[in-house]
Structure 1
Amino acid sequence: MADSTNKKPYSYELAASLLSMVLIIAVLYFLQSVLVPLMFSILIAISLFPVARFLEKYNFHRALSSIIAVILSIVVISGLIWFIIHQVIVIGHNGADLQNKFMTIFNTIQQWITVRFGVEPGEITEKVKELSNEALSHAGTYLSAAFGSVGGILAGVVIVPLFSFFLLYYRDFFREFFFHAFKGTPQSKVHETLNKIYTVVQSYLLGLVTVMAIVAVLNTVGLMVLGVQYAWFFGTLASLLMLLPYIGIAIGSILPALFALATKDSYWYAIGVVAWFQVVQFLEGNLITPNIVGGKVSINPLMAVIAILLGGMLFGLAGLILALPLTAVIKVLFDAIPSMKAFGFLIGEPEKYHLKKHSTMVLIKRWQLKDKLKEKNDDAH
């Protein structure tokens, strides 16, 4: 009886949970210089956990296995960066030829606009210069907002591997912290929630890497068929841009399309590049990702887009990358908190019965609304 009388109303619990969420978002915003590297480190540590655990099975000390796992990730990331920089340098050797080709294309477009709309070439050139100068004047601001200062980048290069090592090395220590922090909650539920968070994040990261590899191959094959040079570079770069959900592949198609426009004798090659990348994006969103990731990371597309927009507002470029894994973690937490279960349901994917032709009737029957409405009508009469 004491439990039922002392139990707080649902509206009170909901208000307290929402207020806590607002305070957490405020703390995230003001401490982002520390928390963003920490969140990236958590993602990296979770992705490296199977490697560290594998090494520990062969009697490697936990510290040594954690160091090897972090070094392995540094080697892989450094290899990708070297590949991109090397290819950019190689392509840059033909910079003069590409510039001449682009100038020819620009002059052709300028002449077409003059004939079609009667706009003088000088006016077009002046407008392009004006737009270019405006873009360049804001470029520093955009780059600074996206990547932070050079000192911040260098600090991240050192801090993220260091954080990742300690998160791997002290992983059981941190797990016990949550047992202490949530003493009022059954420890089995805390343990289960932590395991769910690990599973969701691990599924997202492994799924993302697998999908990126498949998309890189598909992009490259399409570019090779079209005869575009440096197909592996452009195909891989576009797949890496999938770190920016929903817009990555579309952005990644711009560079190879422009390159095809500059190196090929027909604009149809550029159109073909854009069209193929859109086909790959359709396959990725509707076939590849659902079959690889499955229902382990269940976020409906509307909430995913909203999360990406909010992540970008909160953390800039880093927020776009962190948005989906963070939303997946938030969903697990909401599902575990009684007062926030409705919001966890809202973030998740709809069930099959939500999308059927007679879904409204199914919903009414599911929540027994028909009987309640009938009782209400009877009482009114």
Structure 2
Amino acid sequence: MSDNSNKYPYSLSLASSLFAAALILAFMVATQGVLIPLLFSILISISLYPLARFFERLKLGKAFASILSVIIALTILWLIGWFIVHQSIIIGKDASAITAKVVSVLERAQLWVEETFGIQRTAMMDQLRDQGNKLLSNAGAMASATFGSIGNILAGAVLVPLFSFFLLYYRDFFREFFFKAFQGVPQSKVHETLNKIYYVVQSYLLGLVTVMGIVAVLNTIGLMIMGIEYAWFFGTLASLLMLLPYIGIAIGSILPALFALAVKDNAWYAVGVVAWFQVVQFLEGNIITPNIVGSKVSINPLMAIIAILLGGMLFGLSGLILALPLTATIKVIFDSIPTMQAFGFLIGEPEKEHLKSTSTQDLLMKWGIVRKPKMEKKIKVDIQVDPDPATPQTKMQYKEIHESEDIPYEDTSGGDQKADDKDIKP
């Protein structure tokens, strides 16, 4: 956040900034076991800050207000988890009937494949057997990975509430740390950058929760119209998967589509479920989210997709969830560093001038590559016509000639004439 453009060459400052970013990324990958719960705690503490401030205004004390805010958040998460588990148990009671219908659907699919492509059932069973053997051979690795994930989840269940409490309780202490760490920068700029990070992340989180609620209602309405049982469960589950940007709703449509395929006699119900969820996803991406979140989190879709892919590659499922808020935070930091402002510009949303049909010419003129036209403004000529003009005057010329004289020679070159000119005005 300091301006070193006058001290060092731009290339050296840019190289040092990129090298520092690479070191930070390597450090994040190496310490993700602690860092990921900490990042989730930061997001939760930012979302709980208004609630904690509300309790502090009630004279409850900063420590008690922080604890109460964390307890309320845990209660909400517990209720959501209980709802999902409870509905799963209810659906599981009909597992035998659903399994029988699924088996019949698979048999019909096998028959269709055999009639259409000529592939015998024995060949399909051999392929399935081979895949099953491969899965069994990797069962040990899958089991260890599963238990490792469960261990991480249990560790996060303990660490995230603890971290969230301390982040809320020590928030002014951490703010002073940033003031001390960047003493060479105007403190007002440090303060402004921290506030902007808080504003961007909170806008993203509150907007995401609001959009998830709207999507849950739309999903449920569509499932109810089609007569799918447990509509609220499937609709809410699909909306919760919106934590995975761009792909959450699409993944959430698979489970109700399979359920509709199993419990309904017509496969068109499953097609209808997938189609409705895609309509909801279109509305969410083009109408709901832009109007609720708007330009508060200005990340262009290309950079968002790249960030999601990199987050998933580096940190797995947690990286998919954390990708967008982290990218928004990085953009704010880049915008405050002169040597990194170009990268902050690259992450942000394009302006309208970049999307016009004449944007290339305008861009070249903006950066002085081509000259601007000499006449930048159009000249407007205002012509007024009088509908009732005055009677025009006719100007006539004549020459007096004596009868005894010949007609004199008229000099067309404009010389003097002997005749006298007179004007006659009617």
Please state which band the TM-score falls in when normalised by the shorter chain. over 0.9
Query: For 2:183 and 2:4, how far apart are their aligned partners in 1?
Result: 20
Structure 2 counterpart of 1:377: none
More helix by share: 1
Structure 1 range deviating more: 30-39 or 120-129: 120-129
Query: For 1:145 and 1:355, how far apart are their aligned partners in 2?
Result: 46
Residues 282-326 of structure 1 deviation map (CA, whole Å, 9 limit, x = unaligned)? 110111001000101000000001000111111111000000000
Would you say the 8 A contact 2:216–2:238 is kept in 1? Answer: yes
Query: For 2:129 and 2:51, how far apart are their aligned partners in 1?
Result: 52
**Are residues 1:338 and 2:346 paired?**
no
| Residue identity in the other structure for 1:98 | I
**Are residues 1:276 and 2:276 paired?**
yes
Would you say the 8 A contact 1:145–1:316 is kept in 2? Answer: no
Identity of matched residues, %: 66
Shift, 1:371, TM fit: 3.1
Name the CA shift for 1:133/1:96 in 2 (closer, same or farther; >3 Å): farther
SS at match of 1:229: coil
Structure 1 counterpart of 2:299: 299
Structure 2 counterpart of 1:96: 96
**What is the root-mean-square deviation in Å for CA atoms of aligned residues?**
2.0
Shift, 1:53, TM fit: 0.4
SS at match of 2:265: coil
**Are residues 1:113 and 2:113 paired?**
yes
SS at match of 2:370: helix
Query: For 1:140 and 1:261, how far apart are their aligned partners in 2?
Result: 33
Structure 1 range deviating more: 222-231 or 148-157: 148-157
**Are residues 1:12 and 2:12 paired?**
yes
Structure 2 counterpart of 1:254: 254
| Residue identity in the other structure for 2:262 | A
Would you say the 8 A contact 1:147–1:317 is kept in 2? Answer: no
SS at match of 1:349: coil
| Residue identity in the other structure for 1:194 | L
Query: For 1:10 and 1:44, how far apart are their aligned partners in 2?
Result: 38
**Are residues 1:285 and 2:285 paired?**
yes
Name the CA shift for 1:40/1:143 in 2 (closer, same or farther; >3 Å): farther
Query: For 1:43 and 1:4, how far apart are their aligned partners in 2?
Result: 31
| Residue identity in the other structure for 2:50 | P
- Indicate the structure (1 or 2) with the bigger Cα radius of gyration: 2
Shift, 1:144, TM fit: 6.1
Shift, 1:102, TM fit: 0.7
Shift, 1:115, TM fit: 1.6
Structure 2 counterpart of 1:218: 218
Aligned counterparts, 1:28-107, within 5 A: 28-107=28-107
Name the CA shift for 1:79/1:131 in 2 (closer, same or farther; >3 Å): same
Name the CA shift for 1:142/1:191 in 2 (closer, same or farther; >3 Å): farther
Shift, 1:366, TM fit: 2.2
| Residue identity in the other structure for 1:240 | L
Name the CA shift for 1:134/1:235 in 2 (closer, same or farther; >3 Å): farther
Name the CA shift for 1:132/1:309 in 2 (closer, same or farther; >3 Å): same
Name the CA shift for 1:141/1:319 in 2 (closer, same or farther; >3 Å): farther
* Count of aligned pairs: 372
Name the CA shift for 1:29/1:146 in 2 (closer, same or farther; >3 Å): farther
Structure 2 counterpart of 1:315: 315
Query: For 2:45 and 2:54, how far apart are their aligned partners in 1?
Result: 14
Shift, 1:135, TM fit: 4.5
| Residue identity in the other structure for 2:43 | L
Residues 258-278 of structure 1 deviation map (CA, whole Å, 9 limit, x = unaligned)? 000000110000000000000
Structure 2 runs not aligned, ≥5 long = 373-426
| Residue identity in the other structure for 1:271 | V
Query: For 1:54 and 1:195, how far apart are their aligned partners in 2?
Result: 18
SS at match of 1:183: coil
Would you say the 8 A contact 1:46–1:201 is kept in 2? Answer: yes
| Residue identity in the other structure for 1:104 | S
Residues 103-129 of structure 1 deviation map (CA, whole Å, 9 limit, x = unaligned)? 101111111111222211121122223
Query: For 1:135 and 1:88, how far apart are their aligned partners in 2?
Result: 25
> How does the TM-score come out when normalised to structure 1?
0.94
Shift, 1:139, TM fit: 6.8
Query: For 2:144 and 2:362, how far apart are their aligned partners in 1?
Result: 52
Name the CA shift for 1:5/1:243 in 2 (closer, same or farther; >3 Å): closer
Query: For 1:40 and 1:86, how far apart are their aligned partners in 2?
Result: 26
Structure 1 range deviating more: 131-140 or 45-54: 131-140
Structure 1 counterpart of 2:232: 232
Would you say the 8 A contact 2:5–2:339 is kept in 1? Answer: no
Shift, 1:42, TM fit: 0.1
Name the CA shift for 1:194/1:145 in 2 (closer, same or farther; >3 Å): farther
Aligned counterparts, 1:301-380, within 5 A: 301-371=301-371
Structure 2 counterpart of 1:123: 123
Name the CA shift for 1:176/1:145 in 2 (closer, same or farther; >3 Å): farther
Structure 2 counterpart of 1:375: none
